[in-house]
Amino acid sequence: MSRNALKMVTIGGGSSYTPELIEGYIKRQDQLPIKEIWLVDIPEGEKKLNIVGNMAKRMVKAAGLDWEVHLTLDRREALKDADFVSTQFRVGLLEARVKDERIPGSYGLLGQETNGAGGIFKAFRTVPIILDIVKDMKELCPDAWLINFTNPSGMITEAIQQYGKWDKVIGLCNVPVMAMMNEPATIGKELKDLTYKFAGIDHFHWHRVWDNSGKEVTMDIINKMYDGSETGLPKNIFDVKFFREQLNQMKMIPCGYHRYYYRQTEMLNHSLEEFDQNKTRAQEVMRIEHELFTLYQDPNLDHKPKQLAERGGAHYSDAACEAIASIYGDKKTHMVVSTLNRGALPDLPSDHTVEVSSIITASGALPLTFGHFQPAERGWIQLMKNMELVIDEAAVTGDYGLALQAFIMNPLIPSGQAAKDLLDEMLVANKKYLPQFADKIKELEGQGVTVHDQVAATIDEHIGQI
Amino acid sequence: MSRNALKMVTIGGGSSYTPELIEGYIKRQDQLPIKEIWLVDIPEGEKKLNIVGNMAKRMVKAAGLDWEVHLTLDRREALKDADFVSTQFRVGLLEARVKDERIPGSYGLLGQETNGAGGIFKAFRTVPIILDIVKDMKELCPDAWLINFTNPSGMITEAIQQYGKWDKVIGLCNVPVMAMMNEPATIGKELKDLTYKFAGIDHFHWHRVWDNSGKEVTMDIINKMYDGSETGLPKNIFDVKFFREQLNQMKMIPCGYHRYYYRQTEMLNHSLEEFDQNKTRAQEVMRIEHELFTLYQDPNLDHKPKQLAERGGAHYSDAACEAIASIYGDKKTHMVVSTLNRGALPDLPSDHTVEVSSIITASGALPLTFGHFQPAERGWIQLMKNMELVIDEAAVTGDYGLALQAFIMNPLIPSGQAAKDLLDEMLVANKKYLPQFADKIKELEGQGVTVHDQVAATIDEHIGQI
Amino acid sequence: MSRNALKMVTIGGGSSYTPELIEGYIKRQDQLPIKEIWLVDIPEGEKKLNIVGNMAKRMVKAAGLDWEVHLTLDRREALKDADFVSTQFRVGLLEARVKDERIPGSYGLLGQETNGAGGIFKAFRTVPIILDIVKDMKELCPDAWLINFTNPSGMITEAIQQYGKWDKVIGLCNVPVMAMMNEPATIGKELKDLTYKFAGIDHFHWHRVWDNSGKEVTMDIINKMYDGSETGLPKNIFDVKFFREQLNQMKMIPCGYHRYYYRQTEMLNHSLEEFDQNKTRAQEVMRIEHELFTLYQDPNLDHKPKQLAERGGAHYSDAACEAIASIYGDKKTHMVVSTLNRGALPDLPSDHTVEVSSIITASGALPLTFGHFQPAERGWIQLMKNMELVIDEAAVTGDYGLALQAFIMNPLIPSGQAAKDLLDEMLVANKKYLPQFADKIKELEGQGVTVHDQVAATIDEHIGQI
Amino acid sequence: MSRNALKMVTIGGGSSYTPELIEGYIKRQDQLPIKEIWLVDIPEGEKKLNIVGNMAKRMVKAAGLDWEVHLTLDRREALKDADFVSTQFRVGLLEARVKDERIPGSYGLLGQETNGAGGIFKAFRTVPIILDIVKDMKELCPDAWLINFTNPSGMITEAIQQYGKWDKVIGLCNVPVMAMMNEPATIGKELKDLTYKFAGIDHFHWHRVWDNSGKEVTMDIINKMYDGSETGLPKNIFDVKFFREQLNQMKMIPCGYHRYYYRQTEMLNHSLEEFDQNKTRAQEVMRIEHELFTLYQDPNLDHKPKQLAERGGAHYSDAACEAIASIYGDKKTHMVVSTLNRGALPDLPSDHTVEVSSIITASGALPLTFGHFQPAERGWIQLMKNMELVIDEAAVTGDYGLALQAFIMNPLIPSGQAAKDLLDEMLVANKKYLPQFADKIKELEGQGVTVHDQVAATIDEHIGQI
């Protein structure tokens, strides 16, 4: 590592989140001797890259720093001798998200970015690209750290480790961050006075909490969840309460995404209501992004606007900066990250990725042991982790049987002919981004599988708004 | 064991299956030196017990045997010094099965005896009784073997071992028996020339098959499943084909009950059609039973009538006889039974019950190792086995939170308020048979939870037909 | 916990180490609001207790603190409402250690405090007493933390958790402390700039080290072990170098005690030389203790004398103070402690005690995952941990067969008749402290087993010097 | 498989055991449609091959069979299209065995064929050859089964599976065979009326036994071991009784080779006595072999002479024939074989070789689950299995550090300088057969390491007697 002149690379640099990342670096200027920041994007994102890149330059300048900010479409130039590479790209842009939401919705199913059919396809589209990036990194910056916050973050991190054979990676998620930001106040505490233990996989984890007298306060926080306290639910998740009797038995705090599994019917109904009103989360994101990019174009704006916090992914980029600073500075900070299990969760294989409380050192994440789950949570997490493995293997091999197995396993997709039809339609709809499934897609098209007219129309309509 | 004068006890002796059991004993008269057969039932079943018991006496006499056949309502008298105890009772009689089918159906959900909400409640009703029987056995016949084929057979066997602390038990199921009876012919083989390896849990297992040249023929059998061959689907399961692409990837043969999980939508729709037509499997069973008991009353009938084979549970009793003969005679037969895992399926805990190919010896079942599952099947089986553990713990403790967790885990019950309402309504509906949940049921009744009128009416109507 | 008026109890308070403990408390006076320190001992230790206790009082006074120092022979009075209980007693006093060294020596075997036959008997004598203490704690101070540094520390901690069912315990050892004190300087680093990961069991662990650039420096430290650098070998261990080829393959740093297993012949020969010269470590300890107690009697001495550092157990007490301060202050310090595995070392059972790098919080030790060992180390640690379990079970049950199994498993005791004779002689020799083996000892005495004259004579001679 | 014209190949066909193998085939002529038997040997063994090969031809002819018996030095010609390949060769001939016995003996250590330093070197010499054979088989007879009874049988089978990636292998040992031949009579039973469960690794396993009433009779057999009954100890093992107290605790029957570990001192002393008397097992084997080959040369001898039973390996070849007949005939026989664990022994990794009770089918060995060991046996077996893995890895890689680790782990070799000197001397002594260690051996020779004169002399003397 070039210890006094760090080269930071962000792939998907044209993202609306980039100002949070830049702000995160600026906040940590004493910890990170940055020399260059490279923001990389693809041709389709060039316009956004320029807007947000210039904004980044203004932010750096306003902070009185001499960091170079480079904007480029040449990923390999950027990766050359990089120290830290962060990934926050979205394959297929928001158009793909529209499809992930609208097509399942047209089947009466949940349309969501990281759960259900949408989450599976986001993995199918993203895994080949991230493995390509890893291939470049092996050649161009073999000592760099990869900080992934591209969703579905857990599956992407798993693919990087299992198929990319790249160990210097940390997968991030803002869900634990938000829980730790909001929960302490509900019980009159500060975060520094609590010990958090998270365990599970990305977007499917639980946590327990102890105070600084050694007393477990998990149930105290759970109780606060029922009296209206803000406990850090991500912005993009509809708020239905967990059944209290369930949490009383569980004695752990589920993450916000557990709502899709523990209150499946209500979450589905809410999703379908939005579908029927022709609303989608993608649309909302487009609206916010439009607003943000309008702001970013203001040549006088040189700090992160408060509106950015409304995006569901708030704090992701700050978490990334903190992970980078912890690695670089060997800070031994407690963070919740996706990393190799190594026994921390003995109910899951030790050589696969989990999301777990870890100490972040210069040599990476050291997970804290969590111990065994009770049977109910053990059953859930074993199902979900194995489903991740099936999805990743399908994403790498393009094996249709595995893709079908993933759909059938997914608790949010009732198995049967409709599920198979949905799979087929989504394969065809995502054709451009699924080279690994090319043969199967050709076969499906030959059988007349196509994106249904009505869906296609609303997709076009949504995309037109971008 | 009284090696030359065996005392055989059957709890639930008034069952329509008893003639198959008696026939099974008669077929094995050279292997089993039986002195007494005790058929036990409860007062509500006395009439049936007498009918089928007299039929049993005629069968024994016609076979020229001097076995004593005792009919009794006194379970403890029967258990005293027993050598083999088989259990085939149904707590709550067919009335309970009607509820298990009709109440979920009224929520738009699958109503089925061993899967979904019905299966959970069948376990809730049965576990306390079987543990009571085990308690008696510890006192009255501590050396006896318990052969369970009361459903849900796997969970009952698990409860006997984990909570009853009784190891001399074998759990049986006719599903593997039927597969092994039917599949060989589809590929032009005889069973004796094949090696079967089953692995999973009761009603949720897969198998692989090899021929006597060492070649795996699993895919050959799978291929036959798609050309109309009879492969042994139990009578009570609606026949929807598995997706061929799924089986091609899996390279194992799922059991018939997997249809509920792999073709969830079609199985649900079929169940709801029957519901709407006011048909249930319980009804059909009542019709068959009525017919059977009419036959059994014929004082000239002294052999098992062929109509009995139409019942879904055919071959169960014969399997029980074979298990008994294998234990008694140390026959080292290959059978597929529910027994302690002990490493046979390394993806599941070694100290819990699985259903697995085993060698049956005088000291019980010795499972054959199966090895690791692929991720898709591993995820499913880990979910399902853990759900079984949650159900059994709820059944023993009466913990409502655990019951709710079981409902939420169950892949056939979409979680949410309706699922919770269903749980509550079924608790109230089964009040008489759920002493462990008495406090919660009282609380629910206080909140006005009741069996909905329309459902109650159809239940009465069905029961009236018994 | 009485958060502003801590009651600290030390069992074995008359130990020569107590001044280090008191010094440790004084150093941490800002972190620990101590009100009372209770030093407990047994009648045989009363004289020492008074000497060292008065020394402790002078130290506290010299530090300008108002802490009460109580000296008592009444353990139960001391334990009443205690906040922290530390244990540093030696059952059978140094007399027992003389036997642990002299009797094996007379068989041509290693005589050592925590390894070989001596270590086994130290566990046999200590386990019943520690379980007695735990029993008292459950009654008198159920919320207290138990900090054990009585040897064999790992087996004692295992017994506390497995048989005492007491989870609020941390087992300590000075071996990792000394490694971390000495190694950094050998590679020109400070401890704070390194990340240590220890894994194994007490007195049988390895470690790896990374620097603050993320580079593993384990091999750098290993290289320094061969150029004469001081790397922290405990004072009581004869210094034979490990084979460099072995460490090159292992790529981990063994602890000092590994010499007994990796250079068995040289360590044995050295031990036998001392035996032949009528020297023992016990003797040396007696000499040092005599010197220390002479110093302690000096009414002007009010600080820990530097001579105490010569004792093998130096830094044990300071580690105990640091563990206490970390728990009380929820400091999240990295320490190497004996605690429940919980998956940290996936090659060992998750529900048993291991010695592992942990984060010490108010709720106890959270182990950091270490991951799998290579086969050579895995084989060793699995043997040694299982031997610990056998020893503990023998210590609790008094089962002679288990004691014999432990002797046969122990790599430092060649199995055979002589080993069995040694076991028998040591049982008889330790009769007074082994109530659990009373029947067997009586039987052995009936068979004429006795402590051999020559050994008995040297024991007397040694004890006479105390 | 050429089902009506089997080609059987035996590598090491010039072995004195071959007549037992031929007899085994003849006994099973109805089960095995043999067409050709190929006996393969190396040039150094040509004379023996011709003697024993002609004997084999006479045996076949006397049995009235038209089987072709081919004698060849061309392994590849023999392997072409083979159906079954059995391996019974000894790399380095008896000369190597002399070294395995004499060199350790000169260090005061056990000299034994499969245990201690000798066993390690036998593996070092044999693994490269067996992997070479596997390589040929992949090319010349990819569907053949490999039946290995070359010692150390377990490590060789492990190497075939792990490094050779060849799954169609069964490893055999005569130790379980002899136990099952001799033990039943001691308790007045026949083998067919007992159920045996063996578990462990080759030459380090235990077993339990049940009778045909389901009663465990393990302790009955153990009791008989102390009243002079013959329980099947292999001929080559000095008979020292196990400590009864140990077996009472263990409640399992150790194999004969356990004596080396459970009565280490007595076994060592006996070995050293023989060493001092200039006797070795190799010498004795030479004597017997000389006698046997003299007999075999008799042109009138056409059946296995009874003297062959005196060799330690009696019944090995018959076990091989039975394994072959079971595979060919899909006999589902119970045999104790080295095969992949797959969960049968959950205390050992599922993907490594163990020796375990199995059902032998056309598709290979299906292990019966044994379940968990108690801690004492668990510790031993985990040490020993991991040592096997270290030895195999050293044998494949030629890594000196691993070889040293194996010596240090081995419970029969006290670690230290002498052990390392022994390793070095044995490397040099076996130079001709250890190409994988060539560089290290050259380095050692450069340092003056050589076979000590006195040892070299006795080796020559012994070899001169061959």
Cβ contacts of C399 on chain D, cutoff 8 Å: 249
Q: How far is B280 from chain A (nearest CA, A)?
A: 22
Cβ–Cβ gap C379/D399 under 8 Å: no
- The binding site of A for Mn(2+) consists of 173, 203
Size of interface B-D (CB pairs under 8 A): 116
Which residue among D322, D347, D367 closes a domain?
Answer: D367
Q: What is the mean pLDDT of residues D329-345?
A: 96
What is the per-residue pLDDT across B410-443, written as a single tens digit (0 to 9) for each? 999 999 999 999 999 999 999 999 999 999 999 9
Residue C5 lies in a domain: no
Q: What is the DSSP string of C68-128?
A: EEEEES-HHHHHTT-SEEEE---TTHHHHHHHHHHHHHHTTS---SSSHHHHHHHHHHHHH
Q: What integer pLDDT is reported at residue A208 of this predicted model?
A: 98
D242 touches chain C (CB under 8 A): no
d(CA D7, CA D10): 10
- Number of separate domains in chain B: 1
C-beta of residue C341 within 8 angstroms of C-beta of residue C353: yes
Least trusted range by pLDDT, from A138-152, A449-463, B387-401, C168-182: A449-463
* Nearest partner of C22 among C317, C326, C329, C325, judged by Cα: C317
Q: Determine contact, residues C355/C335, Cβ cutoff 8 Å.
A: no
The chain-wide mean pLDDT, for chain A, equals 93
Is D176:D356 a contact under the CB 8 Å cutoff?
no
Residue type present at position C175: V
Q: List chains adjacent to chain B, taking adjacency as at least 3 C-beta pairs closer than 8 Å.
A: A, D
- The answer to whether residue A362 neighbours chain C at the CB level (below 8 Å) is yes
* Nearest-by-CA chain D residue for B343: D343
Please report which helix (H) or strand (E) contains residue C147, including its range. Answer: strand C145-148
Contact A376 B266 (CB under 8 A): no
Sign of the dihedral defined by the CA atoms of residues C346, C347, C353, C356, in that order: negative
Put simply, whether D419 touches C (Cβ < 8 Å) is yes
Q: Which residues of A fall within a CB distance of 8 Å from C341?
A: 369
Residue B105 has pLDDT above 80, yes or no: yes
Residue A214 zone, left/alpha/beta (φ > 0; ψ -120 to 50; rest):
left
C362/A214 Cβ within 8 A: yes
- B80 within some domain: no
Q: Which residues of A touch B268 (CB under 8 A)?
A: 414
A257 catalytically annotated? yes
Asked if C touches D (at least 3 Cβ pairs < 8 angstroms), the answer reads: yes
- Quote the tokens at residue B371: 């090895």
pLDDT, tens digit, 9 for 90 and up, residues C23-59:
999 999 999 999 999 999 999 999 999 999 999 999 9
Q: Give the whole-angstrom CA distance, residue D366 versus residue A120.
A: 38
Interhelix angle C281-296/C46-62, rounded to 10 degrees, is 50
A166 inside domain: no
Q: How many CB atoms lie within 10 A of CB C50?
A: 16
D117-138 pLDDT per residue, tens: 999 999 999 999 999 999 999 9
What is the token pair recorded at C122? 């130290």
Residue for token digits 């379990």? Answer: C389
Q: D310 pLDDT exceeds 80?
A: no
Mode of pairing for the β-strands spanning B353-361 and B364-367 = antiparallel
B143 touches chain D (CB under 8 A): no
Contact at CB, A214 and C364, closer than 8 angstroms: yes
Is C263 at the interface with chain D, CB within 8 A?
yes
Chain C residues closer than 8 Å to A197 by CB: 366
Answer yes or no: is pLDDT of C466 > 60: no
Answer whether residue C439 is part of any domain: yes
Residue B312, pLDDT score:
64
Which residues in chain A are contacts of C346 at CB distance < 8 A?
342-343, 346, 350
Mean pLDDT for C124-142 is 98
Q: CB–CB of A387 and B379 under 8 A?
A: yes
User: In a mutagenesis test of the D interface, which of B369, B372, B381 is the best target, namely the one with the most D β-carbons within 10 Å?
Assistant: B369
d(C-alpha A234, C-alpha A313), whole Å: 8
pLDDT at B287 over 90: no
Chain D CB within 8 Å of residue B207 CB:
no
Instruction: Locate all alpha helices (DSSP H) within A297-337, ordered by sequence.
Output: 316-329
Inspect the structure and tell me whether chains B and C have 3 or more CB pairs less than 8 Å apart: no
On whether any CB of chain A is under 8 Å from the CB of B249, the answer is yes
Contact D72, D40 (CB under 8 A): yes
Chain A nearest-CA residue for B348: A347
Structure-token pair, residue A322: 């903190």
pLDDT digits (tens, 9 = 90+) for D408-420: 999 999 999 999 9
ipTM of the complex in this document: 0.96
pLDDT greater than 70 at residue B2 = no
What type of residue sits at position D157? T
Residue type, B131: L
Q: Residue A147 pairs with which residues in a beta bridge?
A: A86, A170
Q: Which residue of C has its CA nearest to D247?
A: C401
What is the Cα–Cα distance from A130 to A125, expressed in whole angstroms? Answer: 10
Query: How many Cβ pairs within 8 Å bridge chains C and D?
Result: 138
Which residue is associated with the tokens 């499809």?
A: A99
Whole-number percent of chain B with pLDDT over 90: 81
Contact A118, A112 (CB under 8 A): yes
User: Which chain A residues have a beta carbon less than 8 Å from that of C218?
Assistant: none
Distance separating alpha carbons of residues C414 and C109, to the nearest angstrom: 9
pLDDT tens digits, one per residue of A2-24: 567 999 999 999 999 999 999 99
The DSSP result for C380-448, as a single string, is HHHHHHHHHHHHHHHHHH--HHHHHHHHHH-TTS--SHHHHHHHHHHHHHTGGG-GGGHHHHHHHHHTT
| Count of beta carbons in the 10 Å neighbourhood of residue D35 | 14
Residue A199 in contact with residue A357, Cβ under 8 Å? yes
Q: Is D399 on the interface with C (CB under 8 A)?
A: yes
Domain range for residue D440?
398-464
Residues 6+ apart with CB under 8 A from C15: C48, C52, C88, C89, C90
List alpha helices for D152-309, DSSP H.
153-162, 174-186, 218-225, 244-250, 259-262, 264-276, 281-296
Q: How far apart are alpha carbons C308 and C285 in whole angstroms?
A: 11
C437 in a structural domain: yes
**CB-based contact (8 Å) between C265 and chain A?**
no
Q: For position C307, what pLDDT does the model report?
A: 81
Measure the CA–CA gap between D19 and A391, rounded to whole angstroms. Answer: 57
Distance from CA of B417 to the nearest CA of A (A): 7
Nearest CA to D243 out of A283, C3, C401 is that of C401
Specify if C198 maps to a domain: no
* pLDDT value of position C454: 76
User: Which residues in chain B have their CB less than 8 angstroms from residue D362's CB?
Assistant: 195, 210-215
Residue D281 has pLDDT above 90, yes or no: no
Is B393 in the A-facing interface, judged by CB distances under 8 Å?
A: yes
Alpha carbons C424 and C440: distance in angstroms, whole number: 9
Query: Is omega for the bond preceding B152 within 30 degrees of 0, making it cis?
Result: yes
| pLDDT in the model for residue C301 | 92
Nearest CA in chain C to D241: C416
Six token digits for residue A52: 């947000």
Cβ neighbours of A4 (radius 10 Å)? 7
Is residue C235 pLDDT above 70, yes or no? no
- How far is A38 from A20, CA to CA, in rounded Å? 15
pLDDT at B405 over 70: yes
**Element housing D383 (H / E):** helix D375-397
Check C216 against A345: CB less than 8 A apart. Answer: no
For the segment C279-306, the average pLDDT, to the nearest whole number, is: 86
Tell me the nearest-neighbour CA distance from B247 into chain A, angstroms: 8
Q: Interhelix angle for A417-429 vs A116-140, to 10°? A: 40
Roughly what angle, to the nearest 10 degrees, separates helices B116-140 and B375-397?
60
Nearest CA to CA, how far is D211 from chain B (Å)?
7
Chains B and A touch (3+ CB pairs under 8 A): yes
Nearest CB to C262; choose among D267, D379, D415: D415
| C-alpha distances out from residue A201 to A145, A239, A243, A380, Å | 21, 21, 22, 11
Q: Is residue A465's pLDDT more than 60? A: no
* Three-class secondary structure of residue A282 per DSSP: helix
Q: Chain A: give the shortest CA distance to residue B144, in Å.
A: 31
Which own/partner contact pairs does B103-108 have at CB distance under 8 Å and 24+ positions apart?
Answer: B103/B422, B103/B425, B103/B426, B103/B429, B103/B451, B103/B455, B104/B422, B104/B426, B105/B271, B105/B272, B105/B275, B105/B280, B106/B275, B106/B452, B106/B454, B106/B455, B107/B418, B107/B421, B107/B422, B108/B272
Boundary (domain end) residue, out of D367, D388, D410: D367
Task: Report DSSP letters for C313-344, one per residue.
Answer: TTTHHHHHHHHHHHHHHT--EEEEEEEE-TTS
pLDDT tens-place string over residues C241-253? 999 999 999 999 9
Q: Yes or no: say if B140 and B94 are a contact pair by the CB < 8 Å rule.
A: no
Q: Which residues of A touch C327 (CB under 8 A)?
A: 214
Q: Which of C245, C393, C409 sits opposite D380 (nearest CB)?
A: C409
Q: Identify all chain C residues contacting A348, using CB atoms and an 8 Å cutoff.
A: none
Tokens representing D238 are 């000095």
Cβ pair C417:D390 closer than 8 A: no
- Looking at residue D462, its pLDDT comes to 66
Catalytic residues of B: 257
Check if B58 contacts A (Cβ < 8 Å).
Answer: no
For chain A, say whether B346 makes contact (Cβ under 8 Å): no
In the complex, which subunits touch D with 3 or more CB pairs below 8 angstroms? B, C
Q: What is the pLDDT of residue C463?
A: 65
Q: Is residue C460 part of a domain?
A: yes
Q: Is A369 on the interface with C (CB under 8 A)?
A: yes
* Interchain CB contacts (distance < 8 Å): A and C: 116
Residue A408 lies in a domain: yes
B369 in Cβ contact with D366 (< 8 Å) = yes
